[in-house]
């Protein structure tokens, strides 16, 4: 039933993506902001208490709801799993954004592509070239694929609906609290950062391996070994380096911004990024997803036949 729940949630996400305000977990972000205001006194224990209050009740509710409904009726438990997965995932919007940017680049509408990328990433893109627009779009697709898709699927497969929601909430708190200025807020955000790093280790490596398998394996592994460690966030660097090598495209490298040139190490091998590579990035993610769906289906069939 877990495989069928995952398949149903993926189909829902593809044909009926969640609205932006729901997908962004606005409600949870407000709750996290409230907890930060109430508990942030700069100490590690304050961050731990706030993290527990933010994540544990909701993840426990997701697990308890599934167990209760599954006891009443298997179909109800299945529907609950689908609903939680649908809420926790959200890859389809990445493909939509990539397609619109690729279309603008092909139509020589660079200003439109810059504007769309800026809204997508929440950053200034007015000084970027066409290749840099495509490059940042590809990086966001690869990053979003492991966080919004593979990470959720992996923890759902291990711990059910509660695991999927737990991973998603940990990711949000890491972004909100983990980036707080330590000089101003002390150790409050360190718990969120460390927990998500633990949770993220498997999705990062599974995503990188998946891209290598469905793309150019040799180049993907070479870029992973030789380039990932140069990225500021080594975990994300693993995914980006592997994905770039698998696609045969150059990512990373310095880009211009309002405050000057942003230095970044080069990732990948091959050609400069363009609109076609944006489409290729989305296609590679879908191939990787199909790979893991087939593996999960085989495991499900083996369990059914074994019992």
Q: Per-domain residue ranges for the chain?
A: 2-306
Helices 92-106 and 275-306, interaxial angle, to 10°?
A: 160
Q: Please, what is the average pLDDT of the chain?
A: 89
> Model-level pTM?
0.91
The pLDDT score that the predictor gives to residue 70 is 93
Q: β-pairing, 255-257 with 260-262?
A: antiparallel
Interatomic CA distance for residues 120 and 134, integer angstroms: 13
b/e string for 279-291 if b means 16 or more Cβ within 10 A?
bbbbebbeebbee
Tokens standing for 246? 């698998």
Tokens standing for 66? 């599934």
Q: β-pairing, 250-252 with 260-262?
A: unpaired
Interatomic CA distance for residues 46 and 191, integer angstroms: 9
The pLDDT score that the predictor gives to residue 24 is 55
Q: How far is CA 60 from the centre of its chain?
A: 22
Interatomic CA distance for residues 134 and 129, integer angstroms: 9
Per-residue model confidence as pLDDT tens digits over 66-88: 999 999 999 999 999 999 999 88
């Amino acid at each position: 039933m877990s495989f069928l729940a995952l398949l149903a949630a993926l189909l829902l996400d593809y044909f009926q993506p969640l609205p932006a305000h729901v997908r962004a977990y606005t409600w949870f972000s407000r709750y996290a902001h409230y907890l930060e205001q109430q508990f942030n006194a700069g100490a590690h224990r304050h961050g731990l208490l706030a993290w527990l209050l933010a994540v544990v009740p909701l993840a426990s509710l997701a697990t308890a709801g599934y167990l209760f409904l599954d006891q009443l009726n298997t179909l109800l438990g299945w529907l609950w799993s689908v609903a939680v997965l649908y809420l926790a995932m959200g890859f389809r919007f990445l493909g939509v954004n990539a397609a619109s940017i690729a279309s603008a680049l092909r139509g020589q509408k660079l200003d439109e592509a810059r504007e769309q990328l800026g809204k997508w990433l929440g950053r200034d893109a007015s000084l970027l070239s066409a290749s840099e627009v495509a490059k940042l779009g590809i990086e966001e697709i690869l990053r979003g694929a492991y966080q919004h898709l593979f990470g959720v699927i992996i923890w759902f497969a291990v711990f059910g609906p509660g695991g999927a929601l737990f991973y998603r909430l940990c990711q949000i708190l890491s972004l909100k609290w983990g980036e707080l200025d330590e000089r101003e807020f002390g150790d409050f955000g360190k718990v969120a950062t460390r927990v998500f790093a633990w949770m993220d280790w498997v999705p990062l490596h599974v995503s990188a391996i998946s891209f290598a398998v469905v793309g150019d394996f040799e180049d993907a592994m070479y870029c992973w070994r030789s380039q990932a460690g140069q990225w500021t966030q080594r975990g994300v660097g693993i995914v980006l380096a592997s994905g770039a090598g698998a696609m045969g495209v150059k990512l990373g490298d310095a880009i211009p911004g309002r405050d000057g040139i942003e230095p970044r190490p080069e990732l990948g091998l091959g050609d400069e990024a363009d609109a076609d590579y944006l489409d290729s990035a989305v296609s590679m993610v879908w191939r990787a997803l199909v790979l893991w769906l087939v593996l999960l289906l085989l495991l499900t069939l083996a369990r059914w036949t074994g019992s």
